[in-house]
Amino acid sequence: MSQLSSPLSFTSLKLPRTSPPFTPRPPSSSLNTILTPHQKITTLLFDCDNTLVLSESLAFAACADLANEILSARGISDRYTGPELMHEFVGQNFRGMISALKTKYNYEMSPEELESYVSKEEDRVIAKLEEALQPCEGVDPVLESLDKQGKYKMVVVSSSAYRRVKASVEKVGQDKYFHGEIYSAATSLPKPTSKPDPAIYLFAMEKLGVKAQECVAIEDSKSGATAAVRAGIPTVGYVGSYEVEERERMVKLLTEVGCQVIMKDWKEFEGILEGLQGAKL
C-alpha cells in the first residue's frame, strides 16, 4: 500500500466551532492552507494510548469494574467487560465514557460523584499500567532516531488524565523524548473534555506557539483522529496496535474521518514524514 497515495479529505471538511475558555487562533480546513508552500513541519503531536504505549486493554479492564459499579448502584442490569468498553469507547477518556453511559442509560450523577469516580479510575488504571505496560511495537527506535535528528519538537496530546499519561511514558522510558510536553484533555484544559472535541489540540498548539500546518498528529482511534482533523492538523492514522482482523476496518474508518496517511508499522513513519514535508514544498 502506498501511504502517500491515500486520498486527502481536508478540502471538504467544515470545522465546528468549539468554545474552550482560551481564544486559539482559528484553524483552517483548506487543503491549500494545510499544504502551505515552504511551510516546514516542526512539531509532532503523538496520541498516547495504543499509539505510543499498549495501554487501552489494561485501562479498560479497570474502567469496566467502575462502570459496572455505577450501573449496579442505579439498578441497571447491563454489565460491561473491558473489551466491550474498549470497542465502544476507544479514544475517549473516562469522563467522556461516563458521560456517554449517562446519556445511554438516562441516569443522573452529581459533579462530586463524577470526580470521585474519575479519581478512582486514575488510581486503578495507573496501578495496572505500572504493573504491565509495554511500548507499541517499533515505536522506541523511531522516537530515538527523531530525538537524535533534533528537527522536530515531540509532544504528547491525549484524552487521558495527565497523571496517567505521565506515568505511561515514564514506565516505558519514553519521557526523555517529550521533556514534559504533555497535554491532557481531561486535565490541561480549564474545562475538561475528551476527543473528538479538538479543544486539546487547539490548546496545545496555542501553548506551543505553532500553527496546524507546522504539525503532524499521529492517532489510532476514530475519536482521536477526528479531533486532530477538526483542528486542521495533517493526521497519520496508526493501525499497528490493532489485531490483524481489525486493521482493515480501522484503515477504512481512519481514512473516512480524514487521516492523510495510514501507517501499519512504526518503521514507516520517517518515510511518511519525508513525504508529507515534500508535499508542502
Burial class (CB in 10 A: 0-12, 13-18, 19+), 179: exposed
209: left (phi over 0), alpha (psi -120 to 50) or beta: left
- Check residue 9 and give its pLDDT: 35
- Check residue 28 and give its pLDDT: 36
Phi, psi torsion values for 233, nearest 5 degrees: -95, 130
pLDDT, tens digit (0-9, with 9 covering 90-100), for 24-51:
444 333 333 344 444 799 999 999 999 9
What kind of fold does domain 3-54+135-280 have according to CATH?
Answer: Rossmann fold (3.40.50)
d(CA 70, CA 95): 13
Instruction: Please give the DSSP secondary-structure letter assigned to residue 152.
Output: S
Q: Do domains 3-54+135-280 and 56-132 have the same CATH topology?
A: no
Going from N- to C-terminal start, the domains of the chain cover 3-54+135-280, 56-132
Query: Could you tell me if 158 and 165 are in contact, meaning their C-beta atoms sit under 8 angstroms apart?
Result: yes
- Check residue 22 and give its pLDDT: 40
Query: Could you tell me if 135 and 51 are in contact, meaning their C-beta atoms sit under 8 angstroms apart?
Result: no
Within the chain, which residues score under 50 in pLDDT?
1-38
- Check residue 280 and give its pLDDT: 61
CA-wise closest residue to 3 among 280, 281, 259: 259
CB under 8 Å to 221, separation ≥6 — which residues? 47, 50, 90, 91, 195
- Check residue 12 and give its pLDDT: 34
Q: At what angle do helices 94-105 and 82-89 cross, to 10 degrees?
A: 90
56-132 classified as CATH 1.10.150: yes
